[in-house]
C-alpha cells in the first residue's frame, strides 16, 4: 500500500541526486511511498515498475541500480527475500504513528549517507591512503567485479550495452576514488575508455560539449 511521504526542499539541491537521471530521481520519490515505516520494501523491479511507472515503457532495474550506485538505496538479500532499504529514510520521513511495523528484516549493517559524495571525496583526497593505497588483490577484485556486474544486471550503466564489460571507478582511483561498491559501476569498454580518469561530471561535460 502506497503512503504519502515528504519531499524536502533539499531533494532538489542534492548534488549527488543531480548526477542521477531524472527517471532515477522520480523512482526514488516513488520508493518512499512503497516503503514501510522503516524505509524497506521488496526488491521486485517489475512490480515497482507497475506501481510507479504504469504508463511508461521504462525498466526499473537499471534505475534501482543507479540509485544504489549513488548510495541512496541498499539492495540486500535475507534468505530468499530480496529487499531494498532506503538509506536515511528515518532521517527524512515521519511515518504516521499508526503505520504498521516493518515486516522485513533490516540489512546486516545500516548504511548511512552523512554528506554528499563530493564532500566525502574531498575529505578522502586529504587522507594519505586514498587512491594511492594498494588496489584490491586480484581475487578480491574479481569477486568485487562479479558483484558489481550482478548488481548492475550485466549492462553498462552508462549506455546499456551488454558487451565487453569492465568495472569502472565512478570517481577515478587516480583522483582518490576507492574500491567501495558504491564507487564501482559496470561499464562497457568504449564508455570506460572514453571516461578514463575523468569524473562523471567532467565526462558528461565532454560528451555534451
Ligand atoms: Zn557503455
Q: Which domains does the chain have, with CATH numbers?
A: 9-92 (1.10.10.10), 117-208 (1.10.30)
Rounded CA separation 122/100 (Å): 40
Q: Kindly list the protein residues that place their beta carbon closer than 5 angstroms to ligand 1, a single-atom ion.
A: 156, 158-159, 161, 188, 191
Q: What is the mean pLDDT of the chain?
A: 85
Joined together, the cell numbers standing for residue 40 give 524497506
Say what the pLDDT of residue 114 is.
58
Cβ atoms of residues 181 and 173 within 8 Å: no
- Quick one: how far is CA 154 from the chain centroid? 15
Say what the pLDDT of residue 37 is.
95
Q: How confident is the model at residue 116 (pLDDT cuts 50, 70, 90)?
A: low
Query: 187-199 in b/e burial notation, b at 16+ Cβ within 10 A?
Result: bbeebbeebeeeb
Say what the pLDDT of residue 135 is.
64
Say what the pLDDT of residue 131 is.
43
Structure confidence by residue, pLDDT tens digits, 43-75:
999 999 999 999 999 999 999 999 998 889 999
Q: Ligand 1 centre and the CA of 125: distance in Å?
A: 27
Handedness of CA 125, 147, 108, 115 (dihedral sign): positive
Q: Ligand 1 centre and the CA of 196: distance in Å?
A: 12
Joined together, the cell numbers standing for residue 59 give 525498466
Q: Ligand 1 centre and the CA of 56: distance in Å?
A: 23
Residue 59, φ and ψ in degrees, nearest 5? -100, 125
Say what the pLDDT of residue 203 is.
86
Amino acid at each position: 500500500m502506497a503512503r504519502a511521504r515528504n519531499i524536502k526542499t533539499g531533494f532538489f539541491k542534492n548534488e549527488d541526486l543531480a548526477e542521477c537521471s531524472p527517471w532515477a530521481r522520480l523512482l526514488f520519490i516513488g520508493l518512499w511511498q512503497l516503503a514501510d515505516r522503516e524505509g524497506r520494501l521488496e526488491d521486485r523491479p517489475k512490480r515497482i515498475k507497475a506501481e510507479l511507472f504504469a504508463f511508461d515503457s521504462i525498466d526499473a532495474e537499471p534505475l534501482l541500480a543507479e540509485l544504489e550506485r549513488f548510495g541512496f538505496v541498499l539492495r540486500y538479500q535475507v534468505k530468499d527475500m530480496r529487499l531494498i532499504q532506503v538509506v536515511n529514510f528515518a532521517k527524512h520521513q515521519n511515518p504516521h504513528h499508526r503505520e504498521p511495523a516493518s515486516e522485513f528484516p533490516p540489512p546486516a549493517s545500516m548504511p548511512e549517507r552523512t554528506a554528499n559524495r563530493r564532500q566525502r571525496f574531498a575529505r578522502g583526497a586529504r587522507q594519505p591512503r586514498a587512491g594511492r593505497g594498494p588496489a584490491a588483490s586480484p581475487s578480491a577484485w574479481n569477486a568485487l567485479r562479479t558483484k558489481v556486474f550482478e548488481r548492475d544486471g550485466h549492462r553498462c550503466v552508462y549506455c546499456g550495452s551488454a558487451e565487453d564489460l569492465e568495472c569502472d571507478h565512478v570517481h577515478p582511483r587516480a583522483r582518490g576514488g576507492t574500491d567501495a561498491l558504491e564507487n564501482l559501476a559496470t561499464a562497457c569498454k568504449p564508455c570506460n575508455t572514453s571516461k578514463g580518469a575523468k569524473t562523471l561530471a567532467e565526462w558528461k561535460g565532454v560528451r555534451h560539449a
